[in-house]
Chains A and B, each alone.
Chain A
Amino acid sequence: MLAIDDKDLGTPERKSDKLISLEVDGRTVEVPEGTSVMRAAALADIWIPKLCASDLLEAFGSCRLCLVEIEGRNGLPASCTTLAEPGMRVRTQSQRLTKLRRNVMELYMSDHPLDPFECKAGGKCELHKMAQAVGLDHVRYSSSGRNHLTLPVDNSNPYFTFDPTRCILCSRCIRACDERQGTYALTIDGRGFNSVISPGQHQHYSESECVSCGACVQLCPTDALMEKSVLETGPAERAVITTCGYCGVGCSFKAELRGDQVVRMVPNKNGLPNFGHSCVKGRFAWGYATHPDRVRTPMIRKRISDPWQEVSWEEALRYAASELKRVQAKYGRGSIGGITSSRCTNEEAYLVQKLVRAGFGNNNVDTCARVCHSPTGYGLKAALGTPAGTQDFDSVRASDVIMVIGANPTEGHPVFASIMKRRLREGAHLIVVDPRRIELVRMPHVEADYFLQLKPGTNVALLNAMSHVVVTEGLAKEDFIRERCDVREYEMWREFIVQKRNSPESVEQTTGVPAESIRGAARLYAKGPNSAIYYGLGVTEHSQGTTAVLAMVNLAMVTGNLGRAGVGINPLRGQNNVQGSNDVGSFPHEYTGYRHVSDPQVRAAFEREWGVKLDPEPGLRIPNMFDAALDGSFKGLYVEGEDIAQSDPNSQHVAEALAAMEIVIVHDIFLNETSKYAHVFLPGSSFLEKDGTFTNAERRISRVRKVLPPLAGMEDWEVTCALARAFGYPMNYSHPSEIMDELARLTPIFAGVSYGKLERLGSVQWPCNDDAPDGTAVMHVGQFVRGKGRFMLTEYIPTEERTSPRYPLILTTGRVLTQYNVGTQTRRTKNVTWYAEDRLEIHPHDAEQRGIRDNDWVEVSSRAGSIVLRAEITDRMQPGVVYTTFHYPETGANVVTTENSDWATNCPEYKVTAVQVLPTTRRPERRVPEPAHHAEMSHQ
């Protein structure tokens, strides 16, 4: 069922400069060429009955309910498949049409309960609405004849049911799976009266290829496919538009409520960037918000070995502030700091960095982007002038060649992947660069032209080799370079890149990729004409992460693939607000809008607004904070919404650093690994419990709206304000919109952003200011933000992490569709049905050599530590490389990762760890070291 307040115009929008004028029931309507009669009528507020049609799907013409009369034409054409023509005169109502529709509807209802009270959707499904619309009040056919009323219900999916007795075989579910999701999991099995919708090959949903995106459930016009939450709670009464709290795609959703209870999350069909599509996490995995593990009361303790004591907000904040002040008085101004989170809103991150800079009086603020996309920020800013993706997601629909490097969109960014797959099905070419054979390499109706299965840690060598091919084979876009780029730097880079050591033949052994494949991929990319790069943490989380980002920019600039739709360099951000938390000043060296703290003019503006003198020196980054803690010069930390003890590399080192601090304040929705080292726990609010904004990977700022009261009584922005006041720095706002107003006053790229504008436009992409009042979809049109594009020398320098006889394999990491990062949220949902533990993927050859069988327990040992998990033998891996996820703390994947990091940003090198893998009798244990005494809860 669509969202309760959705209007469906029947067929998709068509874009054309040519307008067609026609008449529907005497009303003149003008529509773009290619528009259906059904949609034209709907645009004139004339609603033709329909069942198989939806504006989210291409017209199908099967239900025969939308028949109309067209003057001068024989018969009764289906309005969904008939295109509007100039001068056409359409009648949607007549006695003949009424009778026909009623007869058609009667046949549908002869095998379906007519009584709305029997409708699982409370009579709100389209089938019952249409029965009403055509005036059907009884069915003449006996219910004792052949019917489908005894077919078994499929309850196998944890989130929705499929009741074939309620199915009318309109194929909307199948088309949703094919056209919108691109999974092709559904079909019609059988013939004639025996036809039934079948997941896979007559399997249950849970056994099929279904990825639980929910598109079929959303588009089912009956109560055959229903969310279990609706069946349990009852149909929704109202809907609130908000933004998903998971990945960096940042999908727009309608939270549907009954009373004050969330009934379901439905993708907003008019919302960007997802155009009404969703994935299993955003659509279904929101139950963590009310999970019993949520902490509802602030807690404090003097030592981390003490039990927690529940206290009032006032006491917790007073204790936290007094400890921060005590530590600062004892150890100095720079001895405390804060960490913002990409799971929190822009407004919340802004306040934390403001508290650190203006309240604590230093710049010791950092964010979890440090451990994921900080090289993106550094590289794109250095070369192009702005640290953000160059395109909007929709740009991919204009791409001719798509290169995916170090990203796994179908698992990590599934809604964007569905848009990308649509473009690939239309004929765009695909290059995949990854050590692991990701799903995109070959799947239904998608196959990569080139799959460059490189060795982990060799991105720079491969990207340089592609540029080498472009330059040496005369494929460089010299006109673009001369006009748009710094020519002196280009000439210097050109001299570097043509050297033999950068040729595909020279790097073949290093990368493990045949030279001819690199040459072929480079030629394909260079010839485009519109070639786009999409990348993820497989690029950034390396000792040469920043170099790889710069190498991609070089490749895009030398082929002229920047500054228009269909091209560009596009980071796929892991968390919903990675971009936003960076934008609003979370890095220790930059104020909002990426302006360095040493810039006296910028600093003066902040000093005026905030009423204090500010520190002109950069602060500590997260790994520097840990080092300084062990050194004894950093003693206090306020962590909002990040589990650094689980997510940061070399857990032992992090644990020791946290244990060395005298005041650790964790502000989160659940107790986590970091809170084991905390002295104050401030209960946070989930994305459903607060107002604010998120900024997704395409720079789109979208509203987050409060649909539930915060469980612990305070929204996160209110908590930070209260902590600031307790610390002695006044921070008073009555609504997050005021925080955004302040941010806009201080930040040129946000100057035109306001909650009023977001209400009006739905969302807006920065830069949004006087030059671009409605925002900017594509960056660097005509000119790069920094002026001339900057080619930079990207020498390949191998990581210091090397295999050896003792550690002969390389471990790399990633994530799966159904789990999210360290699993704090998704582990507390039914998504564990699909992925209940981290697994180690290993190639059959490596497994055979070690006597490892599928599902065996294995010990993975590195120079930093060892972990235990089950093996999954698969040829997705190349020999010599193993892979795991980091969703479960029991696995402790970061126990084995090293402290190597990117040269420019200290982003950890999660993607390359030398390991040995051997069968073991050990079993997983809590790997993040516990404090001296196990902490228990006490209630006072």
Chain B
Amino acid sequence: MDIHRLVKMANDIGSFYEALPDRSEAISSIATHLKNFWEPRMRREIIEHARQGAEATPRLKELVREAILTLE
């Protein structure tokens, strides 16, 4: 699937939760959302992208990347 769209969707989720003052709560909330609402092939592709590192483009927000990596 189009990785640009997946990254944008994931970053949008991150933008909502990054308002939480507790960073670990934000990370777990993002991860829970992805687990509950993203179909496995979408999760697989975003995890694969996150694994490529923080500099991989399109860029995932760091908070989001950390959340995605907890899904592995």
Q: Are A617 and B20 interface neighbours, CB within 8 A?
A: no
Q: Which residues of A have CB within 8 Å of B39?
A: 334, 363-364, 588, 617-621, 624
- Of B16, B21, B36, B40, most A-chain CB atoms within 10 Å: B16
Beta-carbon contact of A627 and B36 below 8 Å: no
- Does B33 lie at the interface of the complex (its beta carbon under 8 Å from any beta carbon of A)? yes
A188, CB-defined interface residue at 8 Å: no
Cβ distance A797 to chain B, nearest Cβ, rounded Å: 5
Residue B56 interfacial (CB < 8 Å): no
Tell me if A617 and B40 are in contact (CB < 8 A).
Answer: yes
A window 604-649: CB within 8 A of B:
617-621, 624, 627-628, 630-631, 633
Which residue of chain A has its CB nearest to the CB of B26?
A793
Q: List the interface of chain A (C-beta within 8 A of B).
A: 334, 363-364, 492, 496, 543, 546-547, 588-589, 596, 598, 617-621, 624, 627-628, 630-631, 633, 793-795, 797, 899, 901, 903-906
In the complex, the chain B residue whose C-beta lies closest to that of A363 is B39
Asked if B21 and A492 sit within 8 Å, CB to CB, the answer is yes
Asked if A795 contacts B19 (CB within 8 A), the reply is yes
Q: Considering the chains assembled together, what is the distance between the CA atoms of A364 and B39 in angstroms?
A: 9
Residue of B whose beta carbon sits closest to that of A598: B36
In the bound assembly, the distance between CA atoms of A390 and B36 in angstroms comes to: 25
Answer whether A589 and B37 are a contact pair too, CB < 8 Å, given A624-B42, A793-B20: yes
Q: How far is the CA of A620 from the CA of B39 in the complex (A)?
A: 6
Complex alpha-carbon distance, A906 and B37, angstroms: 10
B21 contacts across to A, CB distance below 8 A: 492
Docked-complex contact A628 and B41, CB < 8 angstroms? yes
Task: Tell me how far the C-beta of A283 lies from the nearest C-beta in chain B, rounded to whole angstroms.
Answer: 40
A596 to B37, CA, bound (A): 10
Measured between beta carbons, the chain B residues less than 8 angstroms from A904 are 13, 16, 33, 37
CB distance from A377 to the nearest CB of B (A): 12
Chain B facing A: main interface SS: helix
B9 beta carbon closer than 8 Å to chain A = yes
Q: Which residue of chain A has the shortest Cβ distance to B25 in the bound complex?
A: A492
Closest to A615 in B: B40
B28 interface contact, C-beta 8 A: no
A627 touching B19 by the CB < 8 A rule?
no
Are A633 and B41 CB-contacts (below 8 A) given A589-B36, A627-B5, A904-B33? Answer: yes
Contact digits for B1-36, partner A, Cβ 8 Å, 1 yes 0 no: 110010001001101100111000000000001001
Contact across chains for B16 and A903 when beta carbons are under 8 A apart: yes
Ordered by A's residue number, 20 sampled pairs between the chains whose C-beta atoms are within 8 Å are: A334-B41, A363-B39, A543-B12, A546-B16, A588-B39, A598-B36, A618-B38, A618-B39, A620-B39, A621-B37, A621-B39, A624-B39, A628-B1, A628-B41, A795-B15, A795-B19, A903-B13, A904-B13, A904-B33, A905-B37
Q: How far is B36's CA from A588's CA once the two chains are assembled, in angstroms?
A: 10
Among candidates B16, B33, B38, B41, residue contacting A795 with C-beta atoms closer than 8 Å: B16
- The chain A residue with its CB closest to the CB of B11 is A903
Bound Cα distance from A794 to B20, whole angstroms: 10
Bound together, the chains give a CA A492 to CA B36 distance in angstroms of 25
CB-CB under 8 A for A631 and B36, given A496-B19, A543-B12, A906-B9: no
B2 and A627: CB pair below 8 A? yes
**A101 and B20 alpha carbons, distance in the complex (Å):** 76
| Shortest distance from the beta carbon of A492 to any chain B beta carbon, whole Å | 7
Distance, CA A794 to CA B19, complexed state (A): 8
Contact of A547 among B2, B16, B37 (CB under 8 A): B16
B1 touches A627 (CB 8 A): yes
- State the CA gap A619–B40 with chains docked (Å): 8
Q: Give A691 Cβ to nearest chain B Cβ, in Å.
A: 34
| Chain A residues, CB < 8 A from B36 | 589, 596, 598, 618
Question: Smallest distance from the beta carbon of A382 to chain B beta carbons, Å?
Answer: 10
Report B33 CB to chain A, min CB distance, Å. Answer: 7
Nearest residue (CB) in A for B12 is A903
Tell me which of B2, B12, B20, B41 contacts A630 (CB under 8 A): B2
Which of chain B's residues 29-64 have a Cβ closer than 8 Å to chain A? 33, 36-42
* B19 A793 Cβ-Cβ under 8 A: yes
Chain B residues with CB under 8 Å of A620's CB are 39, 42
CB distance from A381 to the nearest CB of B (A): 11
For B22, give the chain A residue with the smallest CB separation. A492
Complex CA distance for A619 and B39, rounded to whole angstroms: 5
Q: Which partner residue on chain A sits nearest B10 by CB separation?
A: A903
The interface residues of chain A lying within 8 Å CB-to-CB of B19 are: 496, 793-795
From residue B46, how far is it (CB to closest CB) to chain A in Å?
12
List the B side residues contacting A547 at CB < 8 Å.
16
Q: Which of A627, A633, A899 has the most B CB atoms < 10 Å from its CB? A: A627
* Residues in chain B near residue A588, CB distance under 8 A: 39
A210 to B2, CA, bound (A): 51
Closest to B17 in A: A793
Q: How far is the CB of A738 from chain B (nearest CB, A)?
A: 31
A793→B29 CA distance, assembly (Å) = 13
Which residues of chain B are within 8 angstroms of A334 by Cβ–Cβ distance? 39-41
Contacts of B5 in A (CB 8 A): 627, 899
Q: How far is the CB of B17 from chain A (nearest CB, A)?
A: 9
A267 to B36, CA, bound (A): 43
In whole angstroms, what is the CA distance A903 to B33 when docked? 10
Closest to A629 in B: B1
Closest-by-CB residue of A relative to B42 is A624
Q: Specify the chain B residue showing the minimal Cβ separation from A899.
A: B5
| CA distance in complex: A546, B42 (Å) | 21
Chain A residues near B38 (CB, 8 Å)? 618
Contacts of B33 in A (CB 8 A): 904
Known: A598-B36, A618-B39. A631 touches B20 (CB 8 A): no
Q: How far is the CB of A589 from chain B (nearest CB, A)?
A: 6
| Chain B residue at minimal CB-CB distance from A543 | B12
Q: Are A797 and B2 in contact (CB under 8 A)?
A: no
**Assembled-state Cα–Cα distance A546/B33 (Å):** 13
A795 surroundings in chain B (CB, below 8 A): 15-16, 19
Least Cβ distance of B63 to chain A in Å?
14
List of A residues within 8 angstroms of B40 by Cβ: 334, 617
Closest CB in chain A relative to B49 CB, distance in Å? 14
CA A38 to CA B38, docked complex, whole Å: 63
Nearest A residue to B2 via CB reads A627
